[in-house]
Chain A
Amino acid sequence: MPWVIALLVFLPAAAWAQQDAPRLLSDSPEYCAELSGRFAVLEPEAPAHLRLLADEGRQLCVEGQTRSGIAKLRRALKEAQRGE
């Protein structure tokens, strides 16, 4: 009997805690678009393999594999920046 009461107290608290956790936004399609835009700025001077990388990333984003796409775009951006 007592553990039922404990559970009743605990569960809502847990749910509330769940709700409260901040969410990382950098895994969304919107962010994909942002990164794509950033690369576009650097694209003209960028070497071929990086452009390929960025395109792959864009493609992955469109297909729904946001995380992988973002990762590739980020790599492309990083390499491109380094080249500057």
Chain B
Amino acid sequence: MQILLVEDDAEVARFVKKGLQEAGHIVEHVANGRDGLFMAASEPFDLLILDRMLPGGVDGLRILETLRGQGNKTPVLFLTALGAVDERVKGLKAGGDDYLVKPFAFAELLARIEALARRPTMEVPATKLTVADLEVDLLSRTVTRGSKRIEVQPREFRLLEHLMRHAGQVVTRTMLLEKVWDYHFDPQTNVIDVHVSRLRQKVDRGFDLPLIHTVRNAGYMIRADA
């Protein structure tokens, strides 16, 4: 993916750029808002990562508003220390697609970016999701692996569905909380882990190929290869 990173903190920028390049993306970096706006408007990018607080008189929010005003629909992820809920709402309302608060785990950033990149194709409604021999039928709300029917509770179904829609991508705990439960809250203990492990019990136990993997310091992923 062609990614534009607008971030004034040199350390963070270096860290992110390196990480994204290693993941196979092409990253362009500018350190102030004015240059960022200029670049975003003049060159085509697949994704924009914007800090909100930027020097130069043009902040991240303004960049986004200007671009959206011009009809630019490039997906935008805000990467910022402004973490209050009001700020988050502001960012998303202005046309942002995702909002990640610093400090962040790189794996989370990567997972979210790849989720954003995948999105357009997933607009096409699918009736079945498949990973290896695991099949999820969205119409009948059934899960089968091989020939065996697996009984899951409704919430587990949604969890599995989300993992499968992002098959091969990392899905962080926060993302699960937001997408599967539609909340922004911080559980003191890792309740999500418990749900995933219960799901894993049902889906992977008794089969040769484990599909649900834990990605260290990041989250989970459903993947056919080991």
**Touch test A–B (CB under 8 Å):** no
Chain B residues with CB under 8 Å of chain A are none
Chain A residues with CB under 8 Å of chain B are none
